[in-house]
């Protein structure tokens, strides 16, 4: 894993990235996702051996390691809340793991809240701006939205314990927008009412959680869309595409756009 600084460089100069070598023994292990934790200058990584690893940016060394699930299945993605208090991960088997970051960093043996969010591959997890909602995108073309209060009320499963039963949490919204894989999701600005999604079949969709099923499609891509981000200064524009009524059909009304 390489990390580049965010400061602009003078013309003609190059920047040597900080390099972290993620190994098991002498073998390099693929990292599927990484995120920066500013309060302590740390990085969290999710890798192909089912490990959540904590890296010290200054020393470039792994200072903590966690195995969220006894299966040690590939960890696909992770998400950190805007207040840095909650860390969420998901693996290839549809399991989701929720850590209290401060407790996790203080105690090496801490177990996450664990539950099955999907029957198979979860591509991305996203927390809403106030961390009240968790969105899981999937390979089956579905988007599942969970309330964090429901997740926190579920039973904690020991990561390495004998109890291998799986807890399930019922999503408050479960909708499919694409025949292909949904790769990413993003909330609009500070709102918890609107979600963008993107997929392998070239669709970018805008969904409203106030009126489930109301959606708008943005046709501006000729290849699969695998990630997205929403700038706050543009956040108010797409929402007006809904108008006053519910759009017809499961895919909503089609909207031509070049800046989705």
Looking at the structure, tell me whether residues 42 and 136 fall in a common domain: yes
Is 23 part of a structural domain of the chain? yes
Is 144 part of a structural domain of the chain? yes
Helix H or strand E segment including 196: strand 194-199
- Compute φ and ψ for 20, nearest 5 degrees: -115, 125
Residues 6+ apart with CB under 8 A from 95: 68, 69, 73, 114, 115, 116, 117, 166
Domain final position from 137, 155, 176: 176
Looking at the structure, tell me whether residues 28 and 140 fall in a common domain: yes
Mean pLDDT per 10-residue run, the chain (260 residues)?
49 60 78 95 95 93 93 93 97 95 91 92 94 93 93 67 65 78 88 86 81 67 74 51 40 34
Per the structure, the complete domain to which residue 43 belongs is given by 19-176
Beta bridge partners of 19: 2
Q: Closest Cα partner for 186 from 129, 105, 253? A: 129
Looking at the structure, tell me whether residues 209 and 88 fall in a common domain: no
* CATH code for position 79: 2.130.10.10
Beta bridge partners of 232: none
Looking at the structure, tell me whether residues 159 and 39 fall in a common domain: yes
- Compute φ and ψ for 226, nearest 5 degrees: -110, -10
Is 252 part of a structural domain of the chain? yes
């Amino acid at each position: 894993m390489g990390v580049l600084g965010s400061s602009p460089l003078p013309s003609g100069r190059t920047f040597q990235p900080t390099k972290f070598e993620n190994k098991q023994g002498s073998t390099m292990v693929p990292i599927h996702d990484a995120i920066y934790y500013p309060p302590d200058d740390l990085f969290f990584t999710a890798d192909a051996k089912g490990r959540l690893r904590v890296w010290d940016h200054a020393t470039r060394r792994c200072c903590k390691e966690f195995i969220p699930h006894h299966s040690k299945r590939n960890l696909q993605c992770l998400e950190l809340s805007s207040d840095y208090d909650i860390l969420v991960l998901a693996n290839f088997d549809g399991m989701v793991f929720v850590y209290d970051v401060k407790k996790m960093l203080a105690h090496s043996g801490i177990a996450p809240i664990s539950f099955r969010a999907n029957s198979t591959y979860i591509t991305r997890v996203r927390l809403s701006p106030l961390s009240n909602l968790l969105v899981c995108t999937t390979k089956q073309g579905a988007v599942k939205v969970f309330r964090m209060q429901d997740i926190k009320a579920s039973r904690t499963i020991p990561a390495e314990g004998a109890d291998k039963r799986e807890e399930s949490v019922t999503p408050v919204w479960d909708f499919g927008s694409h025949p292909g894989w949904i790769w990413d999701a993003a909330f609009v600005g500070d709102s918890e009412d609107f979600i963008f999604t993107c997929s392998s079949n070239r669709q970018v969709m805008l969904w409203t959680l106030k009126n489930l099923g109301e959606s708008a499609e943005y046709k501006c891509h000729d290849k699969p869309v695998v990630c997205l981000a929403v700038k706050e200064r543009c956040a108010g524009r797409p929402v007006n595409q809904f108008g006053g009524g519910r759009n017809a059909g499961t895919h909503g009304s089609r909207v031509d756009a070049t800046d989705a």
